[in-house]
Structure formats: C-alpha cells, structure tokens
Chain A
Amino acid sequence: MKKQQYDAVIVGAGHNGLVAACYLQRAGLKVLVLEKNPHIGGATTSISRYENFTYSNCSYVYSLFRQEIARELELYKFGLQVIPYEGGAQIIKNADGSYDSMGTYWHGDANRREVERFNKRDATAMERLDRDIVRQCKFIKPLLMRTPPDPTSFKPRDLMELLYLGQRFYGIGKQRMHETLRFYTMSVADYLNEYLENDALKSYLAGGATVGTALGVYSPGTAYVLLHHAMGDIDGTVGAWGFPRGGMGSVSKALNDSFIASGGTVRVDAGVSDFIVEKGKVKGVKLESGESLSANLVVSGMDVRRTFNAIDPNELPKWVIERAKHFRFRGSSGKINIALDSLPSFKGIPANSPCMTGDIHISQSMDELELAYDDWKAGKWSQKPYLDILIPSLIDPTMVPEGKHWMSVFVQYCPYKLAEGEWNETRKQAFGQHIVDRIARYSPDFKDKILHMEIRTPKDIENETGMSEGNIFQGELTMDQLIFNRPIPGYAQYRSPIAGLYMCGSSNHPGGGVMGAPGANAAREVLLDLGKGK
C-alpha cells in the first residue's frame, strides 16, 4: 500500500463530497477526492449528450443550497450564477374538453386573481397556506446546518443541542407546537385539504411532496416533503427556485474550482471498491483498479448502504449492517432530458405567457396522483405520472444553440424494480416513449420537435451516480429517516462505527436536494475530532 500522501480522502465528487473537501482543505488538510466517473458532480452535473446542448442531467433546479456555504467557499467568485425563475403553470382540462391553465406569477395580486378564476376562496386560502409553510420552514431552517443531537446521549454537547431543539420548539408557542406535530405526520393531501378546495391547485402543490419518495399523496408523512420545496431561497426570496447559469453542473464546477484553488486534488475514474479497516480504524481505500491508498481519515460521500457494503462485515456490528440494508431508498423517480428543435406550445398556456419559464404540470387531481403511486406499487411506471416539466433554455440561452430549447422532465413514479423483469434498453425506451406521449397530449407540436432524449430510470441513476436504487435523496425523507434517525440512530453525527471513517452524503442529516449541508456538517465534525473545530 502506498505511503499516506493525503491527510483526508473523500469518496465521491458529488456536491456534498466536494463541499466537505473544500472545508477540510481550507482548514489546512491535504485532501484528495476520488470519483468513480470520468466527470465530477455526482447528481449535480451538466454533461452534453447531444451536439451543443447542455442538460442538467439529474438535479435540475437550485434553491436549497446553503447561502453560507456558497459564500464561505466563494462559489460566486468561481463562476456560480443563479437566476431565479418566475412563473409556472398547471394545465387544466375543462369538463367540456377544452384546456386552460392556472399560472403562478411573481406578483402577489396577479397570482391571487389567477387562482380566483378557479376558486375565490382558495385564492385567499393560499396566503394562509404559504404563511403556515413558511412558519414550518422558519422552525426547521436553523437545524439544517447543525449536527442533530443523540436523544439517548448524556454528552454535554448532545444535551445542549437537545435543549436548543426543545427551546426552539417551545419558543414557537402552543398552537404552533400542535400544528408542527401534526404537520410532520400528515399526508400532503390531508394537509392541503385543510386549506384548499380546488383539486388541480392541490395536485400542483401536492405532486412536489412525493418527489423522490415512494409514497403517495395520501401517505402519512408526505406533508413534510413540502418543506424541501419551500425552505430554500434565492437572494433572500424564500421558496424561490432558480437555474444555475450553464446548468446544475455549474454548482459542482464552482465547488471543484474552489477546491483546486485552495490546493486540493481530484482524481476521476477512481472508484472506491473497499474501505480498508484494521482493528476498528480506517487505514485507507482500495480502488476498483486494485490500487490502494493509505489514509487515516476517510469521508464517504456514498450513501449509507454503499458505504457499509464497502467495509469488511467483520469490522461492523451486525445491527449496523442490517440498518444500512433496510434504510429505505426505493427508487421512484425518472428523469428525461430532451433537446428540442424549437419551443413547443402547451394547450391552455398562452404562447407569450411568462408562465412557460417556470414549472409546468399536467396532473389533474389528487386521485390521479394517488393512482400514479398505485402503479409504482405494482412495479410499473405510472400511466399518469406526476411530471415536473421545465424549459431552462427560456431563461438560460447558453445551454442550447440559438433558437433551440431543452426540456427537463422529472417523472414520479418510475420503479427501480419492474414487475415485468429487469430494466433493459427496450423497457427504458418504452418508458421514455410513454412520457413523451403523455406530454404530447398537452403539447401537440412537442413530438415533432424532439432532436434527442436522455432517458434515466432509477436503474440508470443508480448506475451512474451510485445512489442506491436511484433514490435522488440518498434515502427517503420521512420522519423515521430524518434528524437523529438519519441514516442510523447512534450514527447520525456523520461518524461511523469505524474510527476515522465519516459520512458526508445526503443519507445524513438534513438529507437530499442540492443543499450542501451534509457535506459542510460532516467537515465540521471531522475538524472537531481533529481539534481544529469551531
């Protein structure tokens, strides 16, 4: 085995791995990042798959990334530019077969008047819903960049942290405590039903709460996922989403450049097959090529299952192996990136409406969304899936040749395991074709404009990014897998049973989304253990 050249080895150049790497390198450590793919970024990539088109291949919008991380790591100096998008539309099929759309607008009164066209009461109720969701976000936001306390521990730090949590909770007042406790256990459908009447409006909001989660809109616990859509911000506008100029790959590129500029090293085509562990201590990593690298400090950006699968079971407690095995991934999302010859039109959306620059949705009702989930349970892709359709080139023209466009289509649900058999090229194409047909029902000129498609099933996502079962969050975001339960009770502080082996992926608190918080939190814990902590 090679003599130790690096103080720390980070496994995986996803955004969290890079965030952790940046912090450790800036703290004075000599850091090496190992990436199995020929490119960095993990699920935060912009790789051209067709001529001069750039896609955001996996993750496709930016909001949750912690501002403090971006500032501390100088990502804006390294080229990251985020442009908020405004608008969005829910296509509505009228009873008489004609089409309309309910747009969302930057202007509060315009937005209200638009909803009023469909339901006067809901137009005002939306304001109360927004208020209550922002209240929940305000409660949880400060926790994102903190290490969760272990509720069974009597260590001063855990007790202090529990006290902090408790004080925050009691600080919100009786009524909001009741509301919060209900919120965390409710289904998104039940939650929205308490506010809204219009089914299309509810489905527009509810669909987002099932993203990356193999649960339906009526499944308890899904209301919480609403927060993952609302707790981010762009330039202080809470709940706003944006496009990084050049695609999501610009985030990992800025992280990479920041890391390199501070003296770090990245090796691509260097997948890790094993963590080398001796007597409970990490000693290095073994690459797929057979090469071994020595290191007393290793940070795994891989999800919890893959991390523990790469350790000799002799070195791990049995229950930890089992917990890692049973951590719920359950791939349920697909992604299709489409190069378009020109801008398609949508039924019910006026051609020059700014609503086109935002997210377009075609699901008509909560029941339709629940049925979409039923298909997943049966091992099929949804006949009428929840689709989050965006045309980022309307805002960022640099991603496509002039006059052309690209469309990002997020699909919920698409199973990791098909009932009819393993995923293969034929089934993958059939899945892609099904989605194209679905969109074409609402966009008659869409099919003729398709130049290229990148179809990604959960299997593809797993194969490329390594995320188990292709779960986009490195594990579902439900209460049993959050905070001190994420990823494993007792190991929710970015440490593992192996001394010197840490975890920084989204399997850890606070979970998935391009947030960077797990990476930053893990780096903080590493530095604390090294006596360099703040």
Chain B
Amino acid sequence: MTNVNNQRPLYERPILETAFYPSYKHLIQNDQYEEWGGYTTLASFASEGQEYFSVRNACGVYDICPMLKYRISGSDAERFLNRLMTRNIKKMLPDRVVYCVWCDDNGHLIEDGTLFKFSETEFRLCCAEHQIEWLLDSAIGYDVDIEDVSTDIAALAAQGPVSCSVLKKMGFSGVDNLKPFQLAVFSQLGFDVMISRTGFTGDLGYELWVNSSDAAALWEALFEAGKSRGIRMIGSTALDMLRIEAGLIMVDVEFMSCFHTVRHLREKNPFELGLHWLVDFNKGPFIGRQALLKAKQNKPQRQLVGLDIDWNKQADSALIYDSKDCSRQIGEITSALWSPVLKQNIALAFLDAPFYEGNKSMWAEVYLHRECLWERKVFECRVTPKPFYSPERKSLTPPEDL
C-alpha cells in the first residue's frame, strides 16, 4: 500500500500520511481528522468512548509515527546524552528506555521524551518536537553522529490489559518477560520488530518499532492477532483521557517548550512540573545545571499538581481561586477529565505556592454550556496525588495471560 497523498507536491498537499495510514484508512468512520506534526491523524476513528475503554479493557492501538526519532551514535554518545539530559544516562542499562527531560542553559524545559539505549554507542531519542538544531549544536566537541530517522521508522503503541497476549499470539515469544521500560528485538514476522514496554496511557502496554517499509505487514499481523481480543485503533481524544488519568504531562498543554515561548517567564523548569526526580545534580555537568541548582534552592512559585474536583462536570480551562467568591486566583487547570474508570472528576493544574502543598481548600470556576446557555459554577477541589490511575498490571512481569 502506498501513501498517495504523500506523492503530491507540498504546495498542493502540505500534510503527510503516516506509514500505517493506508492500513487503517478503512476504519475511519467519522472523519475526525486532526493534524499532528504535519501528519494526518485522527481525534477518533469511530467512538472516543469505545476507544478509551479498549485500552483500559482490551487493547487499543495508537499510531505514533509523527513522533520525532533521532539516532544518536558514536563513541561519545553516552557522554553527550549525559550532558544533554538532566537524568543520569550513565546509569542506564542496554536495552532499556528512560523517560527524560532536557533544558536550555537557563534550566528552562525544552522537551520531554523517551531515550532508548541499544548499546554504549547507540541510542535513540523519541520526542514530539523537532530538536535537530539543538542536538547538533549541543554536540559540538563530541564524537557523536546525530541523524533524524523519523520517517525511516514507523511505530505503533499497543496498550491495554490484553496487549501482551496479542503480541504473544503474533509469535513474539518472550515478550511477556519484558519489564517496564525494557526493550527487545523480535524477528518472528520475518523482519525486525523492536518492542519496548512503554506507552503514554498508564496501563500495561508496548510500543512496536519497525522500518517504515515493514509498517503495513506489522499492522496486518497485529490486527489479525488482536481481532478476537477487542483490538481497536484509537484516536488522540481517547489517548488524552488516558494520559490525564496516568498524570502524564503534554507539551503545549502543561508546558510550552522554551523554543517557542515569546513572553518572558512563560518558560517552565522541571521542578515546576513536579519532575524533581528527573534531575540528578550528582552526575556531573549537564546543560542547565547551574540554573537548576539555583532554582532548587527555593521552592517553586508554582507547581503542577493533580486535582480532585467536586461534582461531575469536567473543569476544562478553569481558573482556581482560594475562596468560593473567586476573588484571588491561585492557579489554573491545564487538563481536565471526568475519569470513566475512576468515576472521579480529575485535573492537572498549576497552583501558586503554598497551595500546591498540603490540603488547602480551593475552588474551580467552571463555565458550562448547557443547551445554548452559559452557566457559571464554582466547585470545591483539592490536591490529590498523581497518577490518578495506576493499575497493578502496568508493572506486573510477566503480565496476566488474558
């Protein structure tokens, strides 16, 4: 199968199709297209509710081809990455994946992403925004090769309680031995499939990586194996619900990369996002270290927290106040969800100090559009730990055979 639209000149068709698009095109029922990173993607294929539950209940598949993938190799690869990332990369074992963030010299967050280690000299960085300039410029003086392999590699996320069983059925024997954040290469399909036990849903799940030329064959095999196990393609609406329940942050929602912030002080550092655990000051020099050391001396003025909100109306974009009369704003909600699995009204929110700590009472001002009339409601809410949802199966190895 070929991507017909990709053959058209840029000025006629600025948006590309992913390597899997021809495979799942026939499943698109309601034309909820959404552009992501210059690619045609779907907000939902048929029903976002069903797609959401496929991940919490069976196996949902999300096309992650638009993610950026950088091959970082060479004798200084590890040294280079250790200086780039705030985490200690030297502690990484081969065939492992870590979640990491990287900052500029001011300690401002550039992006978050996952780093795959194949060997001391071979890594892959996967993230949502283009980084090639930053990577190349940071590599001055290091013996390292950096290559954008985004279009060479196609990837699917297969997530949910039966995902492991589906992969086993595909012939990937031993896949159940993968621990969270571990990876292995399987060749049972006649081509190499790199499988990592990673995802963006907070559930048991895997990401499958192949050469783009093998994309169609992988998709066919996956859906053939999963068809009796409730496998479904899912769109970004369902994914967003899942990642909020998992308490995972999203670029351009919880933070804006300092590559794009125009206004002063809109940048964020890892501490403000509650990512203290990703910053290792004992590992030696890294970009932004001095600024972050300074930032660490004081508590952040604002921090991202989880909120539990009374009532059942999703509090999208709500402002948070310290009292019910809404006189003093102390924060705002970045992502909100009525959680179908928790039956709880949850949100990620930035709160000013000291409200992000302890159990101070606060109120969310919510505007509800009901039958063409806007109503203003004020709901009490409280800080609650993240992740909101974390099933045991997420970390169980081997996973339950379903």
B26 at the interface (CB under 8 A from A): no
A129's nearest neighbour on chain B, judged by CB, is: B133
A354 at the interface (CB under 8 A from B): yes
Instruction: Tell which of B17-25, B259-267, B337-345 binds the partner.
Output: B259-267
Listed A/B pairs (5) with beta-carbon separation below 8 Å: A109-B14, A109-B15, A114-B10, A124-B130, A124-B131
A109 engages B38 (CB within 8 Å):
yes
Instruction: Give the docked Cα–Cα distance between A353 and B9 (Å).
Output: 9
User: Which residues of A331-372 are within 8 A (CB) of B?
Assistant: 350, 352-355
B277 at the interface (CB under 8 A from A): no
User: Which residues of A405-458 are within 8 A (CB) of B?
Assistant: none
Q: What class of interface size applies to chain A in its complex with B? A: 20 to 34
A112 engages B259 (CB within 8 Å):
no
B261's nearest neighbour on chain A, judged by CB, is: A131
A135 at the interface (CB under 8 A from B): yes
Contact of B38 among A112, A120, A135, A353 (CB under 8 A): A112
Nearest-neighbour CB distance to chain B for A164, whole angstroms, equals 16
- By a CB distance below 8 angstroms, the chain A residues around B131 are 124
Contact of A171 among B10, B259, B264 (CB under 8 A): B264
B106 at the interface (CB under 8 A from A): yes
User: Which residues of B1-59 are within 8 A (CB) of A?
Assistant: 9-12, 14-15, 35, 37-38
A134's nearest neighbour on chain B, judged by CB, is: B262
A172 engages B259 (CB within 8 Å):
no
B262 engages A135 (CB within 8 Å):
yes
Known: A109-B37, A113-B38. A124 touches B132 (CB 8 A): yes
Instruction: Give the docked Cα–Cα distance between A416 and B37 (Å).
Output: 49
Nearest-neighbour CB distance to chain A for B292, whole angstroms, equals 15
B280 at the interface (CB under 8 A from A): no
A125 engages B133 (CB within 8 Å):
yes
- By a CB distance below 8 angstroms, the chain A residues around B12 are 352
Instruction: Give the docked Cα–Cα distance between A134 and B262 (Å).
Output: 7
Contact of B11 among A123, A125, A355 (CB under 8 A): A355
A500 at the interface (CB under 8 A from B): no
B260 engages A127 (CB within 8 Å):
yes
Instruction: Give the docked Cα–Cα distance between A172 and B261 (Å).
Output: 12
A117's nearest neighbour on chain B, judged by CB, is: B10
A103 engages B11 (CB within 8 Å):
yes
B136 at the interface (CB under 8 A from A): yes
A167 at the interface (CB under 8 A from B): no
A350 engages B9 (CB within 8 Å):
yes
- By a CB distance below 8 angstroms, the chain B residues around A172 are 264
- By a CB distance below 8 angstroms, the chain B residues around A122 are 133
Known: A124-B133, A127-B259, A128-B133. A110 touches B264 (CB 8 A): no
B148 at the interface (CB under 8 A from A): yes
Nearest-neighbour CB distance to chain A for B280, whole angstroms, equals 24
B136's nearest neighbour on chain A, judged by CB, is: A121
Nearest-neighbour CB distance to chain A for B214, whole angstroms, equals 24
Nearest-neighbour CB distance to chain A for B152, whole angstroms, equals 13
Q: How many residues belonging to B are interface residues under a CB distance threshold of 8 Å? A: 24
User: Which residues of B152-195 are within 8 A (CB) of A?
Assistant: none
A176 at the interface (CB under 8 A from B): yes
A-B CB proximity, top 6 nearest: A109-B38, A110-B14, A124-B133, A107-B14, A125-B133, A124-B130
B265's nearest neighbour on chain A, judged by CB, is: A173
Apart from the given pairs A109-B35, A124-B132, 15 other A-B contacts in the complex at a CB distance below 8 Å: A87-B11, A103-B11, A105-B11, A107-B14, A109-B15, A109-B38, A110-B10, A110-B11, A120-B148, A121-B133, A124-B133, A124-B134, A125-B133, A138-B262, A353-B9
Instruction: Give the docked Cα–Cα distance between A359 and B12 (Å).
Output: 19
- By a CB distance below 8 angstroms, the chain A residues around B11 are 87, 103, 105, 110, 350, 352-355
Nearest-neighbour CB distance to chain A for B33, whole angstroms, equals 15
Contact of B132 among A87, A113, A121, A134 (CB under 8 A): A121
Q: Which residue of B12, B133, B260 has the most chain A CB atoms within 10 A of its CB atom? A: B133
B108's nearest neighbour on chain A, judged by CB, is: A175
B10 engages A123 (CB within 8 Å):
no
B9's nearest neighbour on chain A, judged by CB, is: A350
Binary interface encoding of chain A residues 457-496 relative to chain B, with 1 for a CB under 8 A from any of its CBs, else 0: 0000000000000000000000000000000000000000
- By a CB distance below 8 angstroms, the chain A residues around B10 are 103, 105, 110, 113-114
Nearest-neighbour CB distance to chain B for A525, whole angstroms, equals 31
A131 engages B130 (CB within 8 Å):
no
A137's nearest neighbour on chain B, judged by CB, is: B262
Contact of B130 among A112, A171, A353 (CB under 8 A): A112
Instruction: Give the docked Cα–Cα distance between A107 and B148 (Å).
Output: 21
Instruction: Give the docked Cα–Cα distance between A512 and B14 (Å).
Output: 36
A105 engages B14 (CB within 8 Å):
yes
B262 engages A131 (CB within 8 Å):
yes
User: Which residues of B256-295 are within 8 A (CB) of A?
Assistant: 259-265
- By a CB distance below 8 angstroms, the chain A residues around B264 are 171-173, 176
- By a CB distance below 8 angstroms, the chain B residues around A110 are 10-11, 14-15, 38
A355's nearest neighbour on chain B, judged by CB, is: B11
Nearest-neighbour CB distance to chain B for A87, whole angstroms, equals 8
- By a CB distance below 8 angstroms, the chain B residues around A135 are 262
Instruction: Give the docked Cα–Cα distance between A124 and B15 (Å).
Output: 18
Q: Which residue of B10, B14, B148 has the most chain A CB atoms within 10 A of its CB atom? A: B10
Instruction: Give the docked Cα–Cα distance between A109 and B150 (Å).
Output: 14
B10's nearest neighbour on chain A, judged by CB, is: A110
- By a CB distance below 8 angstroms, the chain A residues around B15 are 107, 109-110
Instruction: Give the docked Cα–Cα distance between A108 and B130 (Å).
Output: 12
Contact of B259 among A103, A113, A114, A131 (CB under 8 A): A131
A172's nearest neighbour on chain B, judged by CB, is: B264
User: Which residues of A81-137 are within 8 A (CB) of B?
Assistant: 87, 103, 105, 107-110, 112-114, 120-125, 127-128, 131, 134-135
Known: A105-B11, A109-B14, A110-B38. A123 touches B259 (CB 8 A): no
Binary interface encoding of chain B residues 89-132 relative to chain A, with 1 for a CB under 8 A from any of its CBs, else 0: 00000000000000000100000000000000000000000111
- By a CB distance below 8 angstroms, the chain A residues around B261 are 131
User: Which residues of A132-177 are within 8 A (CB) of B?
Assistant: 134-135, 138, 171-173, 175-176
Instruction: Give the docked Cα–Cα distance between A113 and B148 (Å).
Output: 13
Instruction: Give the docked Cα–Cα distance between A108 and B37 (Å).
Output: 9
- By a CB distance below 8 angstroms, the chain B residues around A113 are 10, 14, 38
Binary interface encoding of chain A residues 62-98 relative to chain B, with 1 for a CB under 8 A from any of its CBs, else 0: 0000000000000000000000000100000000000
Contact of A123 among B14, B130, B265 (CB under 8 A): B130
Nearest-neighbour CB distance to chain A for B163, whole angstroms, equals 30
- By a CB distance below 8 angstroms, the chain A residues around B262 are 131, 134-135, 138
Nearest-neighbour CB distance to chain A for B213, whole angstroms, equals 20
A138 engages B37 (CB within 8 Å):
no
Nearest-neighbour CB distance to chain A for B135, whole angstroms, equals 9
- By a CB distance below 8 angstroms, the chain B residues around A138 are 262-263
Instruction: Give the docked Cα–Cα distance between A355 and B10 (Å).
Output: 11
- By a CB distance below 8 angstroms, the chain B residues around A112 are 38, 130
- By a CB distance below 8 angstroms, the chain B residues around A171 are 264
Nearest-neighbour CB distance to chain A for B137, whole angstroms, equals 8
Instruction: Give the docked Cα–Cα distance between A460 and B217 (Å).
Output: 69
Nearest-neighbour CB distance to chain B for A184, whole angstroms, equals 18
A175 engages B38 (CB within 8 Å):
no
B130's nearest neighbour on chain A, judged by CB, is: A124
